[in-house]
Each structure stands twice: as C-alpha cells, then as structure tokens.
Amino acid sequence: MSFKRDLPFRLALIVPLAGLTGYFLLLIGSQYVFFSAAAFLHQLALPEIQAAIVLSLGSATVSALLAVGIAVPGAYLLARREFPGKRLLDTFLDLPVVLTPIALGTLILMAWNTPAGRLLDDLGLTLPFTVAGVIAAQFTVVAAIALRLLKTTFEQIDPRYEQVARTLGCTAASSFRRVTLPLAGRGILAAFILTWARAVGEFGATVMVAGTARGATATLPSSIYLAMSVADLPRAVTLIVLLLLISLAVLLAVRFALGSRP
C-alpha cells in the first residue's frame, strides 16, 4: 500500500539518475564502435604518443605536488586563523576556479610580458612553448582547487585536538605536525589525487601557454584535439581510452584514500 503511494516520488528520484547514467554510458560505450585493440597498441607504440603520456603524467605530478605543497599551509591558515581581509582574500583565491582556463593561460602570457615576467624569463623561468609552461598552466588551474579542498579538510578537523595537544606540551608547530597533519593525511592524499587528475585533463591554459608541439609540449588532451583536427579517429580514441582508464584509477584511488568517509 505504502509502496504504491510512494511510487511517483520514487520514480521522480530514480528516472533522472537512470537517465544521467544512461547518457554517460552512451558517451563511453560509443568508443567501442571506433575502438580496435590493434590500433590502440599501435598508437601506444608511437614516440609522440608516449611523449604526450610521459609529459601529461609528469607535469601533472609536478604541478599537483606544487599546488598541494603550497595549499597545505595556506589552507590551514585560512581554516584556523582570523585576520583582517580574510573573506576578501578567500574570495580572491577562488577566482582561478571560476575563470575559464583559456583566460588563465592568456593571463600567464600577458604576465610574462610585464617587467616582472621578463625578469623571471631572464632568470631562466621561460614559460611560452616550454614544458615549464605546461606545468605553470596546470599549476595555475589546480592550485586554487587544492586550496579549496584542503581548507575543507582542515575545517573538518576539530581544533580542540590541537588545543589539547598544546596543553600537553606541544608548540603550535608541533601540534600541527603531531596531530593536525596526521588527521588531515587522507584529505591531503585525496586533494593531491584530485588535483593531479584535474592537471592531467587540463587543456585550455596549457594550449595557450605551451602550445601543442608534437613530442614537445603536446599533452594527452591537446593530442586529442590535434588528432580530431585532422580526423585521426584511431589516435583520438586511443588517447580518450587512456584518459578514461586514468580517470577510473583516480576515482578508485580517491575512494581508497578517503576510506569509508562519505
């Protein structure tokens, strides 16, 4: 009786979710039409594809490490301390999250045309059309995401733990090291994995700053773009399947990192 009365509500919950799942399955499943194992293996053996894979994974690792390394102290500060202008700063640091990556890439190029940028260029930090440019573009896009994720992580840790640690003899630094950091460990790992995955998939800013030179600055996403621009479907499908596998691995890794937490 109650089941029948609840049926419209249950359907209202189930139908949208089922529709969305079906749509995603259609997108992923459509690759099967164009996918061939022989072409996949052949493409993987090509030096320029291998270069794109190595560059994507390597640059994403460096940019995610940089982003998380900077975001840990920054996010802790924003989560724990009150200071004048904090809300303004917090909002300002969110800008890269909402700004389109193409615009971020353009901003990097323009900044490197200012005296400060030219000075950095003279000091060896050349970004346009270089691997350093790929890393800089990815870092610019993911740093704010890392900051946001880690701020939430630190906010979820009760400051009472640190306070008790202080009364037990810890300085502010040692209570952070002995209590807060271990408690934030899974959150930091999850933030690293998610920013790394976002960096692997980054396209707009990377193309603007580093271009798409095959075997040099072409990453997996920009290689997909290049392949589609010349209707090279086997190559595009190979790269998409690769990204799908990486994404699946990332999602599993995040679930493992966060354990049973929702």
Partner 1 sequence: MIRIEQLTARQGSFRLGPIDLDLERGGYLTILGPSGAGKTVLLEVCLGLATAAAGRLWLDDIEATQLPPELRRIAYLPQDLALFPHLSVRDNILFGARQRRLAPEVILGRLQELTVLLDLDGIIARRTVTTLSGGEKQRVALARALLPGPRLLFLDEPFSALDAAIKRQLQIKLRQINRELGVTILHVTHDQEEAFLLGERIAVMIAGKLRQVGRRDDIYYRPASLAVARFLRNQNILELQVDQVGTDGSCKLVGSLPLVTSGCTGIRPGERVAVGIRSEEVVIIRPDRPIGNDLLDNLFDARVVDILGFGGTHTLTVAIADSGVRLDVELPNCAFRDLGYAVGDSLRIALRRRSLWTLPMNSSSP
| Residue ranges binding partner 1 (CB under 8 A) | 158, 160-161, 163-172, 174, 178-179, 182-183, 185
The distance of closest approach from Cβ of residue 71 to partner 1 in the complex, given in angstroms and rounded to an integer, is 21
CB of 257 to partner 1, least distance (A): 15
CB nearer to partner 1: pick between 183 and 258: 183
Residue placing its CB nearer to partner 1 in the complex, 100 or 171: 171
The smaller minimum CB distance to partner 1, of residues 84 and 182, is found at 182
Least distance between partner 1 and beta carbon 81 (Å): 13
153 versus 238: smaller Cβ distance to partner 1 = 153
CB-nearer residue toward partner 1: 183 or 189: 183
Residue count of the chain: 262
**8 A C-beta contact, residue 157 and residue 184:** yes
- CA 229 – CA 242 distance, rounded (Å): 19
Nearer to partner 1, 152 or 163 (CB): 163
Q: How far is the CB of 240 from partner 1 (least distance, A)?
A: 40
CB of 149 to partner 1, least distance (A): 20
Residue 177 beta carbon to partner 1: minimum distance, rounded to whole angstroms: 11
Report CA torsion sign: 227, 228, 230, 236: positive
> Is 191 in contact with 142 (CB distance < 8 Å)?
no
DSSP-derived secondary structure for the chain: -HHHHHHHHHHHHHHHHHHHHHHHHHHHHTHHHH--HHHHHHHHHSHHHHHHHHHHHHHHHHHHHHHHHHHHHHHHHHHH---TTHHHHHHHHHHHHHS-HHHHHHHHHHHTTSHHHHHHHHTT---TTSHHHHHHHHHHHHHHHHHHHHHHHHHTS-HHHHHHHHHTT--HHHHIIIIIHHHHHHHHHHHHHHHHHHHHT--HHHHHHH---TTTT--HHHHHHHHHHTT-HHHHHHHHHHHHHHHHHHHHHHHHHHTT--
Residue number, 183 or 250, with CB nearest to partner 1: 183
